[in-house]
Amino acid sequence: MAPGPPSSRGAWHSRAGFLMAAAGSAVGLGNVWRFPYITGENGGGLFVVIYLACVALLGLPILIAEVLLGRATGLSAVGAFRRLGGPRTPWAGVGMLGVAAAVVILSFYSVVAGWAIHYTALSTRGALAGLSAERIAETFGQLAADPLLSTAWMVLFMALTTWVVARGVHRGLERTAQVLMPILLALLLLLLVRAAGLPGFGPGLRFVFGLHADELTAGGVLEALGHAFFTLSVGIGGLLAYGSYLDRETDVPKAGLAIAGLDTLIALLSCAVLFPIIFTHGQEPSQGPGLIFVNLPIAFSGMAGGSFLAAVFFVLLVLAALTSTISLLEVVTAYLVDQRRWTRRRATLLSGGAITLLAVPSALAGGPGFFGEGLRARLGGSWLDLAADISSNWMVPLGGLGIALFAAWRWNDLDRQREFGRSSRLAGLYLIWLSLLRWLVPVAVVVVFLHAVGVI
């Protein structure tokens, strides 16, 4: 069995701290920005049910596998695969793919997170209050098209992320999540109370939770699966690294349930806040990525206390994004620390700096230049669109598949079962967990890929 991690790698100081950090990783733009708009595009209802099934049957088993692989080896992804599969194992490639995916995700995620800071600033100044719908829509277009502004907010966000990760596992990752996550939940509940008093509350909830399938397509089912992986932060070794800082007494299957449960709760609460506001103010739910940057501000501008509520919402978005970008940078950092023996400081500063440069083309995505208009004309999407598409639709599912296959087929059964059952009240679910990883996850991911390339 692998020896415990060298103390210089860092460790969680409490189980609650680990849970908050992992939930913080999972809860992000995926929950508050993307999930509501894809739910809107797919007509709500049945889409949500399919999404819940994907989280429970595909995402959660991988989440548990990642944390267990990290804890068993005391190493982040590449090192963990090497320790269990041999020094020359090709599975290490799955870890490398994860590091690359983290870089690509961060390079667009930080731009969207930067927009959220901009909207926080706008709403606290009351700059959107009383503007016409057209003017509010223009504001978003102008921000996305302004290379300096988009870049400046992105750089600020990356600097914040790098600073937290450089402070280490306990003082950076754990403490930040323990402070920010309760605030996030409180802000969300505050907005929920306000949304509950609106005439659109009933229609909003019926839209999200009612069983209707009118707008669901095969593509929507696949989107639900891709999003289930993304929202749980599985597939790129982030939770594997988080597991490597974990003690042996934690009940990992139970922790996995808690993390996935909290992530799902926050995604659904976000919808329960957004759609009533959207419906009350005559906006359409199916507006795509602009839903919270255009339609939501339009709705807020017509509400009493709208500027305040908008500020609350965008602060919430910034906090959610930050605890996620931290975990993305941690993937790269943990790799450099474990495999290249860099100090954490050096690893974060250099990788954070490099990713900031790589994010610049995404920050130019709304503009007229090559990375915006140019690529849109040639490839149908800006640099940001392409980075989001390649990472979430290809790299993350492929990484999740790799981790599932390694854990379920390559990992020694005795060790695997011992790790799963260690201090766990859910040890009896071992065979169910293993079968989902062995059969359902590979079949589902392969079906998604075949559909994506047009075979089925």
**What residues make contact with ligand TRP under the rule CB under 6 A?**
25-26, 28-31, 105, 230-231, 233, 235-236, 238, 324, 327-328, 396
Indicate the residue among 231 and 333 with the shorter CB distance to ligand TRP: 231
In angstroms, what is the minimal distance from the CB of 211 to ligand TRP?
Answer: 25
Using CB atoms within 10 A of its CB, is residue 134 exposed (0-12), middle (13-18) or buried (19+)? Answer: exposed
Indicate the residue among 29 and 224 with the shorter CB distance to ligand TRP: 29
In angstroms, what is the minimal distance from the CB of 169 to ligand TRP?
Answer: 16
Residues 266 and 182: beta-carbon distance below 8 Å: no
In angstroms, what is the minimal distance from the CB of 223 to ligand TRP?
Answer: 14
Indicate the residue among 17 and 147 with the shorter CB distance to ligand TRP: 17
Distance from chain centroid for Cα 337? 23
For 274-306, b/e burial (b = at least 16 CB within 10 A) is bbbbbbbbebebebebebbbbbbbbbbbebeeb
Tally Cβ neighbours within 10 Å of residue 201. Answer: 20
Indicate the residue among 50 and 113 with the shorter CB distance to ligand TRP: 113
Indicate the residue among 183 and 379 with the shorter CB distance to ligand TRP: 183
How far are the Cα atoms of 223, 225, 229, 261 from residue 52, in angstroms, in the given order? 12, 9, 11, 10
In angstroms, what is the minimal distance from the CB of 101 to ligand TRP?
Answer: 7
Question: Which is nearest to 101 in space by CA: 409, 413, 358?
Answer: 358
Question: Which is nearest to 188 in space by CA: 323, 312, 318, 36?
Answer: 312
In angstroms, what is the minimal distance from the CB of 334 to ligand TRP?
Answer: 13
Residue nearest to ligand TRP (CB): 30
Tally Cβ neighbours within 10 Å of residue 199. Answer: 10
In angstroms, the CA 299 to CA 277 distance is 6
In angstroms, what is the minimal distance from the CB of 229 to ligand TRP?
Answer: 7
Residue 411, SS3 per DSSP: coil
In angstroms, what is the minimal distance from the CB of 118 to ligand TRP?
Answer: 18
In angstroms, the CA 336 to CA 342 distance is 6
Indicate the residue among 103 and 437 with the shorter CB distance to ligand TRP: 103
For 397-413, b/e burial (b = at least 16 CB within 10 A) is bbbbbbbbbbbbeebee
In angstroms, what is the minimal distance from the CB of 75 to ligand TRP?
Answer: 18
Indicate the residue among 36 and 200 with the shorter CB distance to ligand TRP: 36
Indicate the residue among 112 and 309 with the shorter CB distance to ligand TRP: 112
Residue carrying structure tokens 């799955």: 94
In angstroms, what is the minimal distance from the CB of 238 to ligand TRP?
Answer: 4
How far are the Cα atoms of 211, 219, 349, 401 from residue 44, in angstroms, in the given order? 8, 14, 42, 27
- Residue 454, sorted as left (phi over 0), alpha (psi -120 to 50) or beta, turns out to be left
Indicate the residue among 128 and 355 with the shorter CB distance to ligand TRP: 355
